Structure 1
Amino acid sequence: MQVEALQMTPVRPVQMSAESHLGETERAEETKGFSDYLKDALKETNQLQLDSDRWNAALAAGQVDDVSQVVIAAQKADIALQLTLQLRNRAVSAYQEIMRMQV
Structure 2
Amino acid sequence: LAKLLDEHPDIDAIFCGADIMALGVIMEAHARKLEVPGQLKVIGYGDQNFAADMDPPLTTIRIDGTKIGKLAASMLIEKIETGASKRAKVDVGFTLIERGSA
Same fold by TM-score greater than 0.5: no
User: Which protein is bigger by CA-based radius of gyration?
Assistant: 1
Higher relative contact order (CA 8 A, sep 6+): 2
TM-score normalized by structure 1? 0.28
Give the structure with the higher percent strand. Answer: 2
